[in-house]
Amino acid sequence: KQEVTQIPAALSVPEGENLVLNCSFTDSAIYNLQWFRQDPGKGLTSLLLIQSSQREQTSGRLNASLDKSSGRSTLYIAASQPGDSATYLCAVVTGGFKTIFGAGTRLFVKA
């Protein structure tokens, strides 16, 4: 059974700091991994999608990497801003065609 874990559960950083969020999964048989952000009480905003054959994806200040063999992905946020404060979720699409989410990392960027 696929399990997705995100560490840390919460993170507080000063504005301008570079930071890394971690996502690990137990079964390497995935089709893709997607990173989202969720603002309180809202739906999810897609940030980056990495196919299983890819190693990384970049969008603006965001860079996500994928190491399928070790069951790990990282989301790197450069020069963090208060507007980046949100919960960040990773999700994998399993070999059984289900989307499994991690519990998320709650990020707070202090001005």
Q: Is the link from the previous residue into 8 a cis peptide, with omega within 30 of 0? A: yes
Q: Give residues in contact with other proteins (CB under 8 A).
A: 31-32, 34, 36, 41-46, 49, 51, 89, 91, 93, 96-104
Please report how close the Cβ of residue 42 comes to other proteins at its closest, in angstroms.
6
For 76, the 3-state DSSP assignment is strand
Instruction: Give 34 or 65: the residue with its C-beta nearer to other proteins.
Output: 34
Instruction: Give 11 or 13: the residue with its C-beta nearer to other proteins.
Output: 11
Which alpha helices (H) appear in the chain, and where do they start and end? none
Instruction: Give 21 or 89: the residue with its C-beta nearer to other proteins.
Output: 89
Question: How many Å apart are CA 102 and CA 31, to the nearest integer?
Answer: 16
